[in-house]
Structure 1
Amino acid sequence: MNDFLYLAPTVGVFVFGIIILQFFDKKSPLGRGILVSVFFLLTVRYLLWRGFYTLNLATKLTTAISLFIFILEFITLIVPHFELFLGIKRNYRHQEADFWEATVKENQYSPTVDIFIPTYNESIAILRRTIIGCQAIEYPHKKVYLLDDGNRKEVEELAFQLGCNYIAREEHQHAKAGNLNHALKLTNGDLVTVFDADFVPCKNFLTRTVGFFQKPELGLLQTHQHYYNQDTVARNLGLENILGHPTEECSSRLNQPMRDYYNSVMCYGSSFIVRRSALNEVNGFYTDSVAEDYFTTILLLGKKYEVIYLTERLSAGLVPENIPALFRQRMRWAQGTMEGFFVSANPLTIKGLNFHQRIIYLTGVIHWFTSISILISLVIFPLCFIFKMPPLVTNVHDWLSYFLPLMVFQFTIFYRICDNSTAKIVADIYSLILAFPVSLAIIKTLVKPFSGGFKVTPKGICTDKAIFRWNLALPLIYAFISTLSSLIICIYLLFNSESVNSLIVELRFAYSSLEIGIFWNLYYLILLTVAILAFVEKPQKDFYPWLNINTSINIKINNNIQLYGFSYSLSEKGVKISFPDNYSLPLIKHDSTVELHFNELNLTLNGIVKDVNFRSRKVDLLIEYPQLNLSEYRTLVEFLFCSPHRWQTKIVPNEIQSILILLNVVKNKILLFPFQKKQNKLGRYKHLSIKAELDIINY
């Protein structure tokens, strides 16, 4: 019975957290304040216990190692609290946007707007989509410019074909920032909007944003960034329709509204609108760093302009489409942030910023260093047990009383604090995946700043087979092997009383140290397993993204048979159609020609049946468009990407659901893999028999 008393603090904080979550809305500052304050008190309580009662002081070596790990743990736990306390207050500007939008629609305010699309090596298909989206924006006083820094003939021809202004330059200094500054000299709009080559705006982008600039103190407005393709890590784990885009959503839904409250918003480099006169005051976009967006924002703040954030999904783009591209992007971001120590726009020293702004930018810088802390912990912690030097000495009862309440409370509130954007365990896995490349970028930049140069994140990647990125996964594979070795040693020592005496620790703490070691090794083995599985790239054969869009379609077959169905997935390439239960269908063969009429678009297209899928009482069709003219393609792109309210907030699993889902990933991909392979072979013959009978290919 006494053993259960040690769980009382854990049960107490869990119940308290659930009560607060139920009684307060997720946007309530009071509710967030209570949760963050309790979390901070639990953290301080735990760190005091760790610092005064758990260090292994048996020898000089164990003392040094134990202190070092404690310092890493201290940094990892304390740093987030700066953002959490600042994030108690957040700005949401939906009602303000409604007010300003009315003035724009009534022509009370109608500044001219130049829309810039900087490009370097993106594909024609991606550029075509973005140009059409920008041209579809419903605002009369706009001009769209394609800024080609690759001087490609086919890009110039594309601009001419679509009726888009084309700008190129002979010299290509300062990468994207130089490209934008060159265009500034050749244009004269009152406001400037920038969309990266893969970002497609909604039709109401300008009507929802332009009106804010009636406030003369406003310099720049950043909008929420949505993504229309699947997150790389989630897709590789088979969770693309479940996890969404965790890291991007957490930043946009937690950090940016907090930064907005303190006038410290960070520009993303795309989907923003800026006042030209404000840009002129800071001599255009900042060119001394790869993070031109980040430091341009700081310069505007230094001139006392406001930089605000609108939490509305008014555009959508592409996230990195494979692990190498993801690493390149995050390394560039880390590099850009670290270059702040060496440039004139250093947010810690530049004139004009207030105390809160400097603290917020400082926490942003420190946040990147947690990757180094994670990486070192992955190396050192298992080695401590391998060499029989436990880094902490305590008994299990105290550990249950001090550590477990903190961990449980953190897992309880993390999902809510992050505005339901991700779970703690999912965030931990992403941190593990990115720890090594980010740490490498930080160290490289601090040792030799400005050596990296601007590297564009590749877009439009297709692969027809699975690839294991073992070379990129090597640091995590090493961590997995060392953690597994540590776990085996802990278990062996725990059940071998004679070997326990060999531990460099006070004997009365030996068994408890091993039990705690087993827990941590098991926990990190699960995280590392999932992280390594994310390096197995799934085939990505479709260049065009498929969107989950439901719209009614009339289908005409053989010029006389009329069918009625609904799309459940739609792209620029084709449509996937389902029919109601028990719907009577004629025999549909592969390569049949059909006529599709999209009722909502009033658009009629010819199509070819590429797949017929029989499942239970339903039949699905995959139909591709053989060829679209420009008018048809415009209509389709505007419907797919530009409709107002097209992009909605995704509901992602909470903490408990995420844990169960990730455990299921480990079970399915590792434990059941041999059985799945056998089932797949059996299933293939079944499909072949159906295919032969119905003359269907690619069933």
Structure 2
Amino acid sequence: MNRDLAPFPHLGELGSSSAYLLLVAGIGLILPFIVDIYRTRDRSILFAIAFILAARYAWWRGAETLAPLEFSASAFFSYALYGLELATLIGSLSAFVILARHKQRSIEADEHAAWWGDKEPKVAVMIATYNEDREILERTIIGAKSLRHRNKEIIVLDDNRRDWLRDYCETQNVRYMRRPDNKGSKAGNINHALDRLAEDPVPPDFCAVLDADFVPHRGFISRTLALFHDPTVGLVQTPQHFFNADPIQHNLGLSASYPDEQRFFFDHMQCSRDAWGTAICCGTSSVCRWEALRELGGFPTESVTEDFMLTISLQTIGWKTVYLNEPLTEGLAPEGLAEYITQRARWCLGLMQIARSSVGPLSKANLRIRDRWSVIDSVFFWATSFPFRIAAIVFPLLYWFFNITVVDAQLADVLIYFGPYYVWVTMVMNLLSRGLMIPVMHDVSQLIGSIPITRAAYTGLFRPKGHKFSVTAKGGDRSKVVVQWRLMAPFAICLVLSVVGLSLGIFDDNFAYNDAGDGKWVIVFWTVYNMAVLTVTCFTCIELPRAESHIADKPERVSFTANGRSDALWLSSLTLDTARLRGNLYPLQTRGVLHLPDVGDLEAYVIATTTDGARLKLEPTAEQREALFVRFYAEGDAPGVVSTRTSAVIADIARRISFGLPG
């Protein structure tokens, strides 16, 4: 920081800078009343202003805040941070261009429902599995069987050659396939099935792909097929929703106030990509035209993310990929933090492999400019966002402990150049995404996996071949508190160093850098913000126990018959084998019959009394158990948080932190 400045900024400069920042914030507050977020013109204006503010900020950073260009540590780190920041900013601006457009296809699906007439197209519903538990596969298979589309064949693609799964498929009257090896991982598994289907007397017209833990809603096939009225459409992708909280939501106690980390991509970014004609196949929850797959020769195997590569490959031969933003499937998000990070690192690695593949942005493939841009945009996201998140944590420590200046700026200038850009972009993104972009939480979601993802990004760019496919583990025992010490360690160390450096800098009169002047306050605020992010990140690394139950979405009226009388009660929660009733008290072990719509009369008995009712142990038959699976997963809207309130998120995090480390 500039040591010649007074200890505090000039109040006049700070006041005018704050007024300018408040003006930008004030304009942002009225945007919901004057902007149509679905109109391209309005979105383009919002992001054009963001472009101007970003360019203004970048120019100021380069012209006034860098260390003198000389052979010194300050110069090296100052220019390194600026270069990384510029690369990240380019990625953000690319995303802004994509988000300037938006497309929703539900009306199109309504208008072209059942375009095929009396003869339903034949659909092969392929469930790819490797190591999932029986219950996970059971609900997916039952959900697939409950699809309203009649002309379908359910096919389980077992890449682990399990006899018990073969026998279960036989009892369910679904087709079972296995292959002698695991070559090509998931893509190879699907390609083996496609080759077997080609040998059938009547091959399918379309192929739906489901991961083993994704249960389709009953209208999944009929709604997606509606978009194939366009004969040039080769693939329809739908969003992924999750019936459990991801590790960030669960470990921070945010399951009811903050959405899963993928909501922004599926609910907003994919709609914008679709408007540009670059919607991405995301593997599960997609439907492909048989003709397109056979023309392509099956799923590509050059990348561990065969779905994104399928998108690019289909477009090179003239097929469209489109997106239907409707909740038509529910899946299981990774419940463990290690699995969650491994999954994202695999996505990153796969994207980098695509960038270096035969359909990469610099290849000679028959790619449209927009398709090349699509890959480049993703490369910038993975290769810059996560390294920058690490740098933002580490670089302030260089000042506190080594007197290395990386941003030589006065607080007033930061408020007038960086402040408007940051405030404007945050308010615009929250307007367009219904409050999903909460600053600290956005940083935590990136920081938690930043080290392995950064490693995967540059490993994939410089050594794209020879990497094994890592299956994301699902299910397992989650009944105990698990502290992920190895994941937490770098964040805990940086948190301690930030606290020590800040304390010495502010309170120790003998500390070498206590006279850094006005510019020091930039580092102070930067460090305090980092401490908040690091604290939340550390708590995210403490994995809390998970209940195995699925809670009913909302209370409903049911009847319970016991001791010769029938009572109308409220059902407040429901799992596959328990139910909680409100409205009457029953003695322990009272046996009776619980009547559930669409399930039938379930034998049950009281296992606990509550303050306002009782908890029942259910004894469903095999048929009723299947009906419960359909009720939980294949009916109604997808679960989860679709919009947020910052105050609720802050309150939940405060409760989680005050609770501390459970015993």
Bucket of the pairwise TM-score, normalised by the shorter protein: over 0.9
- Give the stretch that moved more between structures: 649-658 or 120-129: 649-658
| Aligned with 1:194 (options 198, 209, 225) | 209
Contact 2:36 2:42 in 1 (8 A): yes
1:653 aligned onto 2:639: no
Contact 1:337 1:365 in 2 (8 A): yes
Deviation at 1:475, TM superposition (A): 2.0
1:565 aligned onto 2:543: no
Write the mapping of 1:177-256 to structure 2, written as runs, cut at 5 A: 177-187=187-197, 188-245=203-260, 247-256=261-270
Write the mapping of 1:390-539 to structure 2, written as runs, cut at 5 A: 390-492=405-507, 496=509, 499=511, 510-539=516-545
Deviation at 1:461, TM superposition (A): 2.1
Residue of structure 2 equivalent to 1:604: 601
* Distance in 2 separating the partners of 1:499 and 1:179: 62
Contact 1:396 1:516 in 2 (8 A): yes
* Distance in 2 separating the partners of 1:144 and 1:78: 45
Contact 1:250 1:419 in 2 (8 A): no
Contact 2:241 2:640 in 1 (8 A): no
Give, as a single letter, the amino acid of the residue that structure 2 aligns with 1:601.
Answer: D
- Give the stretch that moved more between structures: 166-175 or 21-30: 21-30
Change in Cα spacing, 1:482 to 1:620, as seen in structure 2 (3 Å) is farther
| Aligned with 1:164 (options 174, 186, 191) | 174
Residue of structure 2 equivalent to 1:692: none
Contact 1:20 1:31 in 2 (8 A): no
Write the mapping of 1:359-374 to structure 2, written as runs, cut at 5 A: 359-369=373-383, 370-374=385-389
* Distance in 1 separating the partners of 2:434 and 2:97: 15
Gapped runs of 5+ residues in structure 1?
580-584, 678-699
Deviation at 1:33, TM superposition (A): 2.0
SS, match of residue 239 in structure 1: coil
1:322-357 Cα offsets, whole Å, 9 max, x none, are 101101111111111111243223244252221122
Residue of structure 2 equivalent to 1:682: none
SS, match of residue 292 in structure 2: helix
Change in Cα spacing, 1:445 to 1:351, as seen in structure 2 (3 Å) is closer
* Greater than 4 Å deviation, 4+ residue runs: none
* Distance in 2 separating the partners of 1:373 and 1:50: 16
Residue of structure 2 equivalent to 1:83: 95
Residue of structure 2 equivalent to 1:577: 581
Residue of structure 1 equivalent to 2:626: 634
1:267-294 Cα offsets, whole Å, 9 max, x none, are 1110110011111111101112211111
* Distance in 2 separating the partners of 1:99 and 1:429: 42
1:296 aligned onto 2:310: yes
Residue of structure 2 equivalent to 1:625: 618
* Distance in 2 separating the partners of 1:523 and 1:140: 55
Deviation at 1:449, TM superposition (A): 2.8
In the alignment of these two chains, the number of paired residues is 645
* Distance in 2 separating the partners of 1:133 and 1:147: 16
Contact 2:359 2:365 in 1 (8 A): no
Give, as a single letter, the amino acid of the residue that structure 1 aligns with 2:590.
Answer: S
* Distance in 2 separating the partners of 1:136 and 1:222: 20
Give, as a single letter, the amino acid of the residue that structure 2 aligns with 1:91.
Answer: K
* Distance in 2 separating the partners of 1:19 and 1:360: 33
SS, match of residue 224 in structure 1: coil
Residue of structure 1 equivalent to 2:111: 99
SS, match of residue 80 in structure 2: helix
1:471-505 Cα offsets, whole Å, 9 max, x none, are 12222122222322332233146xx3x756x58xx
Deviation at 1:235, TM superposition (A): 0.6
Gapped runs of 5+ residues in structure 2?
1-10, 198-202
**Percent of pairs with identical residues:** 26
Contact 1:26 1:419 in 2 (8 A): no
Residue of structure 2 equivalent to 1:279: 293
Q: More relative contact order in 1 or in 2 (CA 8 Å, sep 6+)?
A: 2
Deviation at 1:572, TM superposition (A): 2.0
SS, match of residue 324 in structure 2: strand
* Distance in 1 separating the partners of 2:367 and 2:646: 38
TM-score normalized by the length of structure 1: 0.88
Contact 1:222 1:273 in 2 (8 A): yes
Write the mapping of 1:583-594 to structure 2, written as runs, cut at 5 A: 585-589=584-588, 591-594=589-592
Deviation at 1:174, TM superposition (A): 0.9
Deviation at 1:9, TM superposition (A): 1.3
| Aligned with 2:81 (options 65, 69, 73) | 69
* Distance in 1 separating the partners of 2:345 and 2:395: 24
SS, match of residue 602 in structure 2: strand
Contact 1:609 1:622 in 2 (8 A): yes
Contact 1:338 1:442 in 2 (8 A): yes
Change in Cα spacing, 1:342 to 1:86, as seen in structure 2 (3 Å) is closer
Deviation at 1:297, TM superposition (A): 1.3
Residue of structure 2 equivalent to 1:357: 371
Change in Cα spacing, 1:350 to 1:423, as seen in structure 2 (3 Å) is farther
Residue of structure 1 equivalent to 2:147: 137
Deviation at 1:648, TM superposition (A): 5.7
* Distance in 1 separating the partners of 2:573 and 2:436: 24
- Give the stretch that moved more between structures: 530-539 or 49-58: 49-58
* Distance in 2 separating the partners of 1:89 and 1:185: 39
SS, match of residue 339 in structure 1: helix
1:548 aligned onto 2:548: no
Give, as a single letter, the amino acid of the residue that structure 2 aligns with 1:592.
Answer: T
* Distance in 1 separating the partners of 2:551 and 2:361: 41
* Distance in 2 separating the partners of 1:143 and 1:397: 66
TM-score normalized by the length of structure 2: 0.92
| Aligned with 2:333 (options 307, 310, 319) | 319
1:9 aligned onto 2:27: no
Deviation at 1:364, TM superposition (A): 0.8
Deviation at 1:608, TM superposition (A): 3.0
Contact 1:565 1:578 in 2 (8 A): yes
Deviation at 1:51, TM superposition (A): 1.2
